[in-house]
Amino acid sequence: MKPLSESVLDAIGETPLVDLKRLVEAWGLEGKIYAKLELLNPGFSMKDRIALKIIEEAEASGELKSGQTIVETTSGNTGTGLAIVCAVKGYPFVAVMSKGNTPERARMIRALGAEVVLVEQAPDSPPGQVSGEDLALVEEEAKRIIAERGAFYADQFNRMSNVHAHEEHTGAEIWDQTEGKVDAFLQFAGTGGSFAGCAKALKKRNPDIRCYLTEPAGAPYLAGGPITNPNHKIQGGGYAKDLPIVDKNLIDGFLAITDDEAIEGARALARFEGIFAGSSTGANIAGAAKLLRDKEKGNRIAILVCDSGLKYLSTDLYN
């Protein structure tokens, strides 16, 4: 057990890794799925890790000044992580979000003392389904606020701090927890930081580990496929845009997951394993199952449980 902590920031990371043997058996799969419970971070997502790393590295470099306002574009999880870090460290924080993201995320960020700016969706975007076009509108508003307030831009899509957090910690933890007995890693594409960081950490220790990137079936942009449904239901990623912090040499394959497959994956994880997670985790479960039925049959696959299902109660994910 950890000693007495100076703040909640000490509770970020070192999350459990769980063998999903009940789900694997129920689905008739051959192999192992190891799930890293990132929903047990203080902000209920893996993004707490990058929030802390971005701030720490910016402080160390002098780019972030004492008392300076911090601004970030977010679907909610990075915003929550930054709100927690800023509350402890004393920085004003502004989260800029699309109105298409679930309202419970904005409420949590406000409860943590941050300011939330909600941006209208693009005309063709259904509520609850955030597209790359919606994200572009959010980024435009964030840049306006940054210029107006002389703020520091956390900029998770472009900062290597995002990768460093997962390379130095998440991926290294997976290696240690499996004692190096892992054959593949799979992660849904958001900013790409968690994929890139974990893939770098694992491949550095064993270059033969295969690393797969998961995308929505209607927006397989990174795989070079046609964009038929940018308004998918898998929140927090699949924005059909370039991911500058991802080294493409780390990608051993792509998986395309439908909305229904992601929903069933999340529901099965709750039903068989008692793990209540969101839609991107559901996509990871569905992707891992596809691999165990095909090219990774009989092997051991590590995935991330990206965030908590509590952030999706206003959607149809668990209806």
Cα 246 from Cα 303, distance rounded (Å)? 17
Find the DSSP H helices in 235-278.
259-273
Active site residues: 47, 280
For residue 215, list its beta bridge partners: 256
- Cβ–Cβ under 8 Å, residues 301 and 186: yes
Residue 279 vs residues 2, 97, 152, 311, 318: alpha-carbon distances, Å: 31, 18, 30, 10, 10
Cα 166 from Cα 174, distance rounded (Å)? 10
The CB density around residue 99, as the number of other CB atoms within 10 Å, is: 17
- Cβ–Cβ under 8 Å, residues 197 and 186: no
Taking each helix axis from N to C terminus, what angle separates 259-273 and 279-292, rounded to the nearest 10 degrees?
90
- Cβ–Cβ under 8 Å, residues 211 and 202: yes
Hey, what amino acid is at 202? L
- Cβ–Cβ under 8 Å, residues 27 and 268: yes
- Cβ–Cβ under 8 Å, residues 211 and 236: no
Give the tokens for residue 118. Answer: 């909600």
